[in-house]
Structures are given as C-alpha cells and as structure tokens.
Amino acid sequence: GAVVSQHPSWVICKSGTSVKIECRSLDFQATTMFWYRQFPKQSLMLMATSNEGSKATYEQGVEKDKFLINHASLTLSTLTVTSAHPEDSSFYICSAIDFRSYEQYFGPGTRLTVT
C-alpha cells in the first residue's frame, strides 16, 4: 500500500525554540494533507488541512501563527511549531490523500516533547 513518512519520529526541544516536522508521501502525489494532534489517551484532533500551493486551512482554536504549515510540493508538507512550550508536547500525525484513488494514508506520527 501507499506509504507516508514523517520525520523526525520523535523530537525533544527546549521551550521557546521552533521545531519542524515533515510529512512525505513516498509513492504517490498528494494534493491534500491533513495534520492531527493527539494528546495522551485522547483521540486525534484535526489541526489543519494543507493544500499544495495554497494556504492551509486551520480548524477553530488552532493558532495559525504558532503552527505554520507549508505544502510546498505534491509530496511534502511541513508543520513548524514555533516558540514551543511544554503544553505543545503531543503526538503529531499527518495524513495524505492520493489524488488518483482518493484514498487517505496516515503517517507513523511524530512525538514532540518540549522541556
């Protein structure tokens, strides 16, 4: 099946620094990617929809200036957590839509810990 990768798989950063998470579709082109956040023992919450070549659409309550999303190509979307704080520590998961089949595939997730 189609593969979506995320890098890094885990990251620890200090409070106040920024961290970038990459989401790549490895064997298909994805015009749309989604970013989710999952706190421990909770469900996945959609943060934003990322469309190639256009600005991301953020869900209500998600700070667009804090969570910068760039979908620069048909195979790559990045999420940058700016000025990270301990409350941003979470599991971040991306998903990508294969534009040929409309199937949605999830990445393996990135665990962010802010100290």
Partner 1 sequence: AQKITQTQPGMFVQEKEAVTLDCTYDTSDPSYGLFWYKQPSSGEMIFLIYQGSYDQQNATEGRYSLNFQKARKSANLVISASQLGDSAMYFCAMSVNRDDKIIFGKGTRLHILP
27 touches partner 1 (CB under 8 A): no
Q: Count residues near partner 1 (CB under 8 A).
A: 21
The footprint of partner 1 on residues 43-82 (CB under 8 A) is 43-46, 49
**69: closest CA among 99, 47, 84?**
47
Q: Read off the DSSP letter of residue 30.
A: E
Query: Using the rule CB under 8 A, is 42 a contact of partner 1?
Result: yes
Closest CA to 50 of 97, 111, 105, 110: 97
- Sign (positive or negative) of CA dihedral 78, 39, 46, 85: negative
Per-residue contact flags (x/-) with partner 1 for residues 79 to 98, judged by CB under 8 A: ------------x-x-x-x-
Instruction: Report yes or no: 104 and 96 within 8 Å, Cβ to Cβ.
Output: yes
Give the interface segment with partner 1, choosing from 20-28, 62-70, 82-90, 104-112 (CB under 8 A).
Answer: 104-112
Q: Which residues bind partner 1 (CB under 8 A)?
A: 32, 34, 38, 42-46, 49, 91, 93, 95, 97, 102-106, 108-109, 111
